[in-house]
Amino acid sequence: MLQQDQTEERLRPLMLRSLEGDSGAHRQLLEILGRYLRGYFARRMGAAAAEVEDLVQETLLAVHLKRDTYDRSLPFTPWAYALARYKLIDHLRRRSRSIQVPLEDAGALFAADDPEEGALRTDLDRLLQRLPHRQRSLIEDVKLQGLSVEEAAHKRGVTAVSARVMLHRSLKWLNQAIRDENG
């Protein structure tokens, strides 16, 4: 969460100054955002460097063209992430491919220096909110905090077997929810 907050604190003021007509802030915003976007798209597109750069440019153009739709009272990074995500989905539809990231790998998505961490965390939080509290907290303990199933079970007051079953069912449900969202 700290990385997401730092990213927001870095980019939102630039966006606000950009909206006020500060061309230097706008240029700086697009430059910094471009670095984050390259990491975001490269992880999803693999070795297709030309496609990654095309997506970065398309997204930066969308940020530039749609900047007047940004609500100044809301955080910037989720808004920018939504634009990037839609550009990626459009690109994949044009290519008739889809990329699935198993939820079991969610912990690996949050490397400390990953520039897309904030956007991913927002997306993951949104998905996890759809689960009942017990299931959500179990996933967070095991997959995000790194506790063993036994430690998480003890913390929740359930048996390790029950925790494994609940974890398996929750991850299966979330995987299906992701598939349904991605068509």
CATH 1.10.10.10 fits 103-181, yes or no: yes
Residue with more model confidence, 19 or 121:
19
Confidence of residue 98 (pLDDT cuts 50, 70, 90): very low
CATH 3.30.390.50 corresponds to the domain 2-95: no
What amino acid is encoded at 59 in this protein? T
What the block records as the tokens of 162 is 């029950």
- Beta carbons within 8 Å of 128's beta carbon, 6+ residues apart: 136, 139, 140, 174
DSSP per position, 126-139: HHHTTS-HHHHHHH
Q: What is the pLDDT of residue 4?
A: 60
pLDDT at 112 exceeding the cut of 60:
no
Identify whether the C-beta of residue 92 lies closer than 8 Å to the C-beta of residue 26.
Answer: no
pLDDT band for position 3 (cuts 50, 70, 90): low
Q: For 122-145, write each residue's pLDDT tens digit.
A: 667 777 888 888 888 888 888 777
Q: Tell me what pLDDT residue 27 has.
A: 94
Nearest C-alpha neighbor of 92 from the set 37, 48, 31: 48
Domain coordinates of the chain in residue numbers? 2-95, 103-181
CB 91 within 8 A of CB 66: no
pTM for this prediction: 0.52
